[in-house]
Amino acid sequence: MEYRQLAVPGAWEITSQQFGDSRGIFLEWFKSTTFLDAVGHNLDLRQANMSVSAAGVVRGIHFSDVPPGQAKYVTCVKGAVLDVAVDVRVGSPTYGQWDAVLLDDVDRRAIYLSEGLGHGFMALEDDSTVIYLCSTEYAPGREHGIHPLDPAIGIAWPTTARDGSPLVPLLSEKDVAAPTLEVARAEGLLPTLEAVDAYAASRRR
């Protein structure tokens, strides 16, 4: 299992070794000891989610108040998604920047996003199925969003599906109504790097 830190600090791409034979394949998509060595703390699992999305569906950009925030360990078990980490931490040197990982049912990679990061993805084919391990339970009053098409962030969402057909972003009403990054900052919704670092320090081994 190989961890690669993304351009947004606090996010990692995880690539697992796949073992295949005539029956199919086997892989470890999460392992606590490897996770601890790479990230520096344990994943405190409190909730597991699944979403199934049509091609073009964009979910996010979502983030939670810190502390405690909500860290996510995400993979795609069917289909394909472009999964995106966005730095929404006020005071971070990479504030407003993003990085992405292709999650699909071929390479079967995962992504880990620590507390304080924004998370979103676009489905690249119908019935793309994503599963998330979450460090906290869903708490509506602590959850927030940034508009995923905010030009100031400038995420390069794919325009072509895996089958070559054109992709048109499809957003929920909630995500359509989400503020831009700078409006969210002005409204005091964003976590600060100081708060995120203090919370992370309290969790290190």
Q: What positions carry a catalytic annotation?
A: 62, 132
List the structure tokens of 29.
């998509």
List the structure tokens of 9.
């600090």
List the structure tokens of 111.
């992504």
Q: How far apart are CA 62 and CA 99, in angstroms?
A: 15
| Alpha-carbon Rg for the chain in angstroms | 17
Do residues 64 and 142 touch, judged by C-beta distance below 8 A? yes
Q: How far apart are CA 203 and CA 205, in angstroms?
A: 6
Do residues 90 and 193 touch, judged by C-beta distance below 8 A? yes
Instruction: Look at residues 154, 161, 178, 131 and name the one whose alpha carbon lies nearest to residue 54.
Output: 161
The two beta strands, 128-134 and 117-123, are: unpaired
